[in-house]
């Protein structure tokens, strides 16, 4: 029973990660299209979700994901936002954040028995 519940929680987390990845791609597209209203209104929630996931992954896998690297990515993202470089914002999301979330989803999938 406990394994079934644990697997259901893992499956829910994997679904959340996959949905987050789709949201990331959508937000990146807003920036590529210079749709700052939609991009900016969605990016903060996504960063909050990302922080929650990293924290949860640290608890589940009993190892620390590289928070320094994550903070560096956040820094890159905010620098791009400050300089209003929408292409760079989209690129950081697409080529940095999306692969991290994909890897986390794979790690969670490996935990399902």
Q: Which domain holds residue 54?
A: 2-111
Q: In terms of C-beta density within 10 A (0-12 exposed, 13-18 middle, 19 or more buried), how is residue 37 classed?
A: exposed
Coil, strand, or helix at residue 100?
helix
Report the candidate in 40, 21, 36 with the shortest Cα–Cα distance to residue 93: 21
Per-residue pLDDT tens, the chain, 113 aa: give them: 466 656 777 788 888 889 999 999 999 999 999 999 999 999 988 878 877 776 666 656 555 556 677 778 889 999 999 999 999 999 999 999 899 888 888 887 887 75
Half-sphere exposure of 25 (CA within 13 A, CB side): 10
pTM (predicted TM-score): 0.78
Q: How many domains does the chain have?
A: 1
């Amino acid at each position: 029973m406990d394994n079934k519940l644990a697997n259901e929680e893992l499956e829910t987390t994997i679904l959340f990660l996959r949905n987050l990845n789709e949201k990331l791609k959508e937000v990146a597209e807003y920036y590529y299209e210079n749709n700052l209203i939609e991009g900016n209104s969605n990016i903060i929630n996504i960063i909050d979700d990302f922080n929650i996931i990293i924290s949860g992954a640290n608890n589940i896998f009993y190892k620390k994901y590289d928070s320094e690297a994550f903070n560096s990515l956040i820094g890159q993202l905010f620098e791009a936002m400050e300089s209003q470089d929408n292409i760079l914002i989209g690129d950081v999301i697409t080529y940095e954040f999306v692969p991290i979330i994909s890897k986390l989803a794979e790690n969670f999938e490996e935990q399902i028995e």
